[in-house]
Chains A and B, each alone.
Chain A
């Protein structure tokens, strides 16, 4: 179970959203987030909401996956809502109990902020649901490439992400193994206060780090033996190519989002 967490939540479907070039998707998500933060009107938000729903349908992703992505953030969303409900004052008083009161402005702003967060999370998770980690890394590498001249190590970052994706499951299962081995030797990971608990992690972390460094050593050796010498002169098996559909969809969505921003 642990293993599947990091491989991302990517769902392999045969849809037009999946087939879109990752660079286009990343740029559109950024544009969406910007529009989301600029627009303030109800109309704009309704349109953005419809846009999310249509994209999800086109991507052939069931809504429960989208909802699932909200789960870890329910706390933050409700927190935002409650803070605004009680602390933002102005307008008609809707409800009062001793010193606590909810006023119109608070309700509006609270709901508005909550919806903004929900839109933000659902749309970005649509990106990771429809784009494999590998495509994402490739897309990011290519998008960052122009910034290489100002010192952004585009290839190195992408290579780090690739290796992290490859080794996180390995290290997780190793951590599990060490945990069991230490428990079998009587190590206690559960009882005690916070400090004691943190201390009890040492026999887990030390062997894990030692092994991670050994793996890194081995991997560097193996990569060198396979002629790796950085990003220079390296080609890819699956080069990214912008097709007609990427341009068409990219332009259409951009126009749509810009219209919303201008209208609001």
Chain B
């Protein structure tokens, strides 16, 4: 299949000095349409920098980034590229522009210069997709964190992108809000066929990803499916990353002599596995 996003030999640093360390180093990446890619990595490993490279907010120092065949350095294609690849950021408060939910969702399509009727249609559709239709006329500051973040997602999907990038969308939310956002993201990927790049610190959120990329010091240290990755418990510890609590529990049980599979992500799976024990 044709790849939607392509990074070729990308290097990036914020300062232009020769002796400056690379923030991203030798990144080669291909992402096909419809994939759910998760990115994890310690603080400062370059995840947010990568997100900003994807839509041309930052331009690679070396190498090239392509989205849907368009290079991010091509100024003329930039707006079309940003329509195609939307980003949802960490702080839900700091990405909503208008003081009424539906007006905020309309912000992106308005910037694209679409006719009013088309904007209306897209706004209603986007709000429905994130389950926020009932709050269309509400003021953002009266919503919960999870609801605000869903409005932010609606604002991006109203532009009808092919790919959504999430930069730690749940970092500032309570467990309930996190759940809402993760469910919305998975729905958009599975039902709507959107390509998703999901940056997070919470391993529990990405057990359904197609691929997980582990970043360390600006390099892709590991690339694996969730099943493969979470069995590498020691390796993950070295990289200062958590694994899902249930997987960790299964791992420790097997370490201490119980004969169970460590390839476990949910409590139901663990219960079943334990019941099989003699």
Q: How many A-B residue pairs have CB under 8 A?
A: 99
* B120 partner residues in chain A, CB cutoff 8 A: 237
What string of 1s and 0s marks CB contacts (under 8 Å) between A219-237 and chain B?
1011111111100011111
**CB-nearest residue of chain B to A173:** B141
B214: min CB distance to chain A, Å: 25
B274 CB–A CB distance under 8 Å: no
| With A173-B141, A229-B79, A234-B111 as contacts: A163 and B116 at CB distance below 8 Å | no
B257 CB–A CB distance under 8 Å: no
What string of 1s and 0s marks CB contacts (under 8 Å) between B105-119 and chain A?
011111111111001
B41 CB–A CB distance under 8 Å: no
Across the interface, A234 reaches (CB within 8 A) one of B52, B113, B142, namely B113
What string of 1s and 0s marks CB contacts (under 8 Å) between B92-128 and chain A?
0111111110110011111111111001100100000
Is A222 touching B140 in the complex (CB atoms < 8 A)? no
* B111 partner residues in chain A, CB cutoff 8 A: 226-229, 234
* B102 partner residues in chain A, CB cutoff 8 A: 237
Question: Chain B contact residues (Cβ within 8 angstroms of A): what range?
Answer: 35 or more
Is A235 touching B110 in the complex (CB atoms < 8 A)? yes
Is B57 touching A162 in the complex (CB atoms < 8 A)? no
* A215 partner residues in chain B, CB cutoff 8 A: 91, 93-94
* B109 partner residues in chain A, CB cutoff 8 A: 237
B95: min CB distance to chain A, Å: 4
* A221 partner residues in chain B, CB cutoff 8 A: 52, 57, 89
Is B57 touching A226 in the complex (CB atoms < 8 A)? no
A170 to B152, CA, bound (A): 16
Q: Count of chain A residues with Cβ under 8 Å from any Cβ of B? A: 31
A-contacting 9-mer, from B80-88, B178-186, B229-237 = B80-88
Is A227 touching B112 in the complex (CB atoms < 8 A)? yes
Across the interface, A226 reaches (CB within 8 A) one of B91, B93, B107, B116, namely B107
State the B residues within 8 Å of A (CB): 52, 55, 57, 79, 82-83, 86-87, 89, 91, 93-100, 102-103, 106-116, 119-120, 123, 139-142, 152, 155-156, 159
29 sample A-B contacts, Cβ–Cβ < 8 Å, listed by A number: A3-B142, A134-B100, A162-B98, A165-B99, A166-B97, A166-B141, A169-B139, A169-B141, A170-B141, A215-B91, A215-B93, A218-B94, A219-B94, A221-B52, A222-B94, A222-B97, A225-B89, A226-B159, A227-B112, A234-B111, A235-B110, A235-B115, A235-B116, A236-B106, A236-B110, A236-B116, A236-B119, A237-B109, A239-B116
